[in-house]
Structure 1
Amino acid sequence: MRLKPGTAWSDAYERCCAAAPEAFHDDRVLNHWGGFWQRDGRPAPVFSPVDGTAIAGPPRLDRAGAARAVAGAADEHRQWRHLPLAERAARVSAAVDAMAAHRDLLALLLVWEIGKPWRTARADVDRCLDGVCWYLTEIEHMVAGRTPLPGPVSNIASWNYPMSVLMHAMLVQALAGNAVIAKTPTDGGLSCLTLATALAVREGLPFTLVSGGGAELSPVLVRGRAIGCVSFVGGRDAGAEVAASLADLGRRHVLEQEGLNCWGVWEYSGWESLTRQIRASFDYGKQRCTAYPRFVVQRELFHEFLAAYLAAVGSLRFGHPLAVEEPDDPLPELDFGPLISASKAKELGDQVGEAVAKGGVPIHRASLESGRFLPGQDTSAYFPPTALLSPPRSSPLFHAEPFGPVDTIVLVDTEAELLAAMNASNGALVATLSCDAQETAARLAPEVRAFKVGHNRPRSRGDREELFGGLGSSWRGAFVGGELLVRAVTVGPEGERLVGNFPHYTLLP
């Protein structure tokens, strides 16, 4: 095995310097605020989860620097919000075209920075650009009778979808008439987001991109008086802190948080289909907000479920996303690469070990030796697919999302037990029921506390007109997707109640 020629990190960074020299210097990446690229902040050392290669680190601002950046965004917002829609749309369209021209470079950066396999990385870029193109065709009726927010939108997002979630939201927020602030995710995506931002600001979009620690910058990016809306994507602990910071401000917010998405199997016989679905559920190592890490299975069906499950996980392919046997070989078709960091892999390994020690039954534990790796490469961020039957209730794997290729399986005997097990985390983003009878699924689905419940198929975040939100503790604030995303970042008629999950009411679409 060898690294595919032309795909080394040095190759990718050299291409960034050539494509956007204003944003990439030979020794570091820059922040962008106040309409200019700023050589400020303290670059932090970062190593790729792919093989430990040193890559560009975020230029971390302190709180005072972030405050200056927010003030600059507020100035841009006062001008941008009055720009005619046709002009905003033309600039956003030009930015999309520029990003499309650099699609493969953006995808290669995602491989190195967050470990996405090549196919998954390109899909992330494509979903961003295709989604924004859809909004460009629909935006006129979406903003009719609405006005931009009083201040810029502040985005704090997790690292796993820099393009299809974060950059997509930024482009739509600007299209709707707002200046946009984004904090680079702490764990990865810096260079990809910087290149996309550089291409966008060349077309005149009011983007601010800064780096820094969440605890240091949160008072400015969340509570700053100029902020018009806070959009957060991440875990429940960090989301709860953001929600607490917003509690007394009455400020527009969109807080997408994790939940334990469950797949229930009850009175079911379509095992061949389920095998394909289980394999697909390991896409990107389950490092997705809509991953399914928990299967709740009718006990008398467990032997058939187990056969279908083992057939799926036994066919998974993981390893170095850029490793090939011959120079001319295409990049490998992998289900997943590394986790986001070696520390995350160790944490997950410790959780699995503790769960087994307390009674969890390992029904599948692959080894790293089954992965595709370069000779002698660092594999500390990789975690082979694992499945545990009956995780102990004291384990984090029982009640929280592992955010890695680890499944837990719980057996139940009654419908009441099925529903209780599927609702273990007080709210989720998605869920699925595998039932032969449509009537059974229709009766059980309303009792599952998830925003989307699929019948014999997985649910996802969705694209274009598909709505997205969460129930219980998995979501706070306005729902998004389709027209709801635009409503969340614009002001409607007086007295309007946004669709969403708010402290004083929940309004479903």
Structure 2
Amino acid sequence: METITKQLWINGQWVAADRTYPLHSPYDGKLLAHIAKASPSDVERAVAGANEAFQRMKELPAHRRADILYGVVQLMIDKKEELAQICSAEAGKPIRTARAEIERTIATYRFSAEEAKRLYGETIPMDAAPGGENRLGFTWREPLGVVTAISPFNFPFNLVAHKLGPALAAGNTVVLKPAEQTPLSSLAIAELFHQAGLPEGALQVVTGSGRELGDALVTDPHVRKITFTGSSAVGRTIKEKAGLRKTTLELGSNSALIIEPDVPLESIVPRCVEGAFSFAGQVCISLQRIYVHRSVYDEFCTRFVERTKQLRVGDPADEQTDISAMIHARETERIEAWINEAVEAGARIGCGGKREGAVLLPTVMLDVTPDMSVSCQEAFAPIVSIVPYDNLDEAIELTNRSAYGLNIGIYTLNIQKAFYAAKQIESGGIIVNDIPTFRVDHMPYGGVKDSGYGREGIKYAVQEMTELKFVTVKTTF
């Protein structure tokens, strides 16, 4: 069977690039497609087209922008299984997990359609200040213009939706650069937006190397906003080059969970295992550190390891698979080296710790210290550390001993302890009585410290993708 070649999506048309690169399955190395490798000049053309399209896009009434997004929702509903298969193949995501991502993506675009009709302003009581008498003051929100969106591999449909949905709902245009490993999902979405009636040029998709295209995507004078999800190191580079442009940076994490002794372990262990190993831990808010009260530590570890050993590892296309390959062999090698370093420094492996082909077996680490890479760095892998503590303040201190702060969870039946922890923990989100991996797509989502800044979640992203304009009218002369 002939391998397909995918082109760039520029100004509402498929455009060939001078170069292509092969896209392989993370699981078995199968060649999936040849992907256009854009050049900086391709990006320049895409940004120029998006800037021209902005003049049309900002004039679309809110109901029309909403209708386009609702149209994408319906098209995705009609193509659910096809889109899930794309996600599973290029990301190595177990098919059941891929289907769940498509459902979430549909919800994200639906939220975006609704938010397109909610760009409210407010009236300002001008006479609250001396000299403001006989004046009417009010605000409205206006789109920014061209938004550069740079997305990662781990949620190739839904994290793209968190950038496209709010940007288009607000009347912006977007130049999208998907991860090199997961371009097929973005190209498929571009087709759906075209079918739904999005003006030509309002969405551009350029595929290829982020290293080669980064400067063109970030520094073009027509770009008014950059939204990026990825590593802290790349986020810092983008911020340095962005200048006065608005930026939203959703960066790294090593999310923690505190477990107090008053919760029923048999009820929470399956959820904790899910949080640690879903999509092989390649989730920004994957559960990486678990702090368990010493009085229930041994029981929790036993239950957690037993549950982890029940996970099924294998082909992402298999309906029974829970965990499949990590995105690249080099990532598996990296985390394997971290495990070996931790063991040499005194840590123990509760289970896993080995590779089977392209897959790293789900790994539980014990006797871990805060300075070990498996604890203090972002693993982005199927690995979790379980550490005992003696009192809640100690657990909070261990939790905060991190360069990151995206989502943190705590299980406790004591409401006072829950609110105390929520006040003391340094994180963008506090999840009480659930894992830090919990997210629904309309909640505010973003981090502090090296986890970045700005907020996603449709309403909040729309605010960051618009400019607030103030108008005052003197009502008497």
Identify the residue that residue 16 of structure 2 maps to in structure 1: 39
Query: Residues 305-326 of structure 1, C-alpha deviation per residue, up to 9 Å, x if partnerless?
Result: 2122123212212210224xxx
Identify the residue that residue 185 of structure 2 maps to in structure 1: 192
RMSD (Å) for aligned C-alpha atoms = 2.1
Work out the CA distance in 1 between the residues paired with 2:438 and 2:263: 27
- Helix, strand or coil at the partner of 1:344: helix
Map 1:320-469; keep pairs closer than 5 Å: 320-323=315-318, 331-332=319-320, 334-365=321-352, 380-460=357-437, 462-469=439-446
Identity of aligned residues (%): 24
Query: Residues 220-252 of structure 1, C-alpha deviation per residue, up to 9 Å, x if partnerless?
Result: 111211012100001111111111212xx2211
Identify the residue that residue 231 of structure 2 maps to in structure 1: 235
CA contact (8 A) 1:146 1:490 kept: no
- Helix, strand or coil at the partner of 1:129: helix
CA contact (8 A) 2:165 2:458 kept: no
Identify the residue that residue 84 of structure 1 maps to in structure 2: 61
Candidates 70, 74, 89, aligned match of 2:51: 74
Query: Residues 281-325 of structure 1, C-alpha deviation per residue, up to 9 Å, x if partnerless?
Result: 1211111112111112233332122122123212212210224xx
* Residue type at the aligned position of 1:303: D
Map 1:310-321; keep pairs closer than 5 Å: 310-321=305-316
Q: Relative to structure 1, is the Cα distance of residues 425 and 410 closer, same or farther in structure 2, using a 3 angstrom cutoff?
A: same
Identify the residue that residue 486 of structure 1 maps to in structure 2: 462
Identify the residue that residue 504 of structure 1 maps to in structure 2: none
- Helix, strand or coil at the partner of 2:208: coil
Say if 2:298 is the partner of 1:303.
yes
Query: Residues 328-356 of structure 1, C-alpha deviation per residue, up to 9 Å, x if partnerless?
Result: xxx32x32211111121111111111211
Work out the CA distance in 1 between the residues paired with 2:442 and 2:333: 39
* Residue type at the aligned position of 1:80: M
Q: CA deviation at 1:461?
A: 5.9
Identify the residue that residue 501 of structure 1 maps to in structure 2: none
**TM-score using structure 1 length:** 0.83
Say if 2:164 is the partner of 1:170.
yes
Q: CA deviation at 1:380?
A: 3.2
* Residue type at the aligned position of 2:191: A
Q: Relative to structure 1, is the Cα distance of residues 443 and 91 closer, same or farther in structure 2, using a 3 angstrom cutoff?
A: closer
Q: Relative to structure 1, is the Cα distance of residues 203 and 293 closer, same or farther in structure 2, using a 3 angstrom cutoff?
A: same
CA contact (8 A) 1:345 1:380 kept: no
Work out the CA distance in 2 between the residues paired with 1:106 and 1:211: 18
- Helix, strand or coil at the partner of 2:360: coil
CA contact (8 A) 1:117 1:335 kept: yes
Identify the residue that residue 135 of structure 2 maps to in structure 1: none
CA contact (8 A) 1:49 1:338 kept: yes
Work out the CA distance in 1 between the residues paired with 2:292 and 2:213: 44
Identify the residue that residue 472 of structure 1 maps to in structure 2: 449
Q: Relative to structure 1, is the Cα distance of residues 380 and 443 closer, same or farther in structure 2, using a 3 angstrom cutoff?
A: same
User: Structure 2: any 5+ residue segments left out of the alignment?
Assistant: 122-138, 472-477
Structure with higher strand content: 2
- Helix, strand or coil at the partner of 1:45: strand
Moved more, 406-415 or 120-129: 406-415
- Helix, strand or coil at the partner of 2:103: helix
Identify the residue that residue 50 of structure 1 maps to in structure 2: 27
Identify the residue that residue 216 of structure 1 maps to in structure 2: 212
Query: Residues 126-147 of structure 1, C-alpha deviation per residue, up to 9 Å, x if partnerless?
Result: 1111222233234322355544
CA contact (8 A) 2:444 2:457 kept: yes
Moved more, 117-126 or 97-106: 97-106
CA contact (8 A) 1:267 1:436 kept: no
CA contact (8 A) 1:80 1:178 kept: yes
CA contact (8 A) 1:176 1:486 kept: yes
Work out the CA distance in 2 between the residues paired with 1:455 and 1:87: 39
Identify the residue that residue 119 of structure 2 maps to in structure 1: 142
User: Structure 1: any 5+ residue segments left out of the alignment?
Assistant: 1-9, 15-25, 324-330, 369-378, 496-509
Work out the CA distance in 2 between the residues paired with 1:431 and 1:446: 12
Work out the CA distance in 1 between the residues paired with 2:463 and 2:422: 28
CA contact (8 A) 1:461 1:468 kept: no
Work out the CA distance in 2 between the residues paired with 1:195 and 1:480: 23
CA contact (8 A) 1:41 1:60 kept: yes
Q: CA deviation at 1:386?
A: 0.8
- Helix, strand or coil at the partner of 1:431: strand
* Residue type at the aligned position of 1:211: T
Identify the residue that residue 97 of structure 1 maps to in structure 2: 74
Candidates 93, 103, 127, aligned match of 1:126: 103
Q: CA deviation at 1:218?
A: 1.4
Work out the CA distance in 2 between the residues paired with 1:442 and 1:147: 35
Identify the residue that residue 207 of structure 1 maps to in structure 2: 203
- Helix, strand or coil at the partner of 2:406: strand
- Helix, strand or coil at the partner of 2:286: coil
* Residue type at the aligned position of 1:364: C
Identify the residue that residue 259 of structure 1 maps to in structure 2: 253
Q: CA deviation at 1:408?
A: 1.4
Q: CA deviation at 1:393?
A: 4.8
Say if 2:92 is the partner of 1:115.
yes
Work out the CA distance in 2 between the residues paired with 1:175 and 1:405: 36
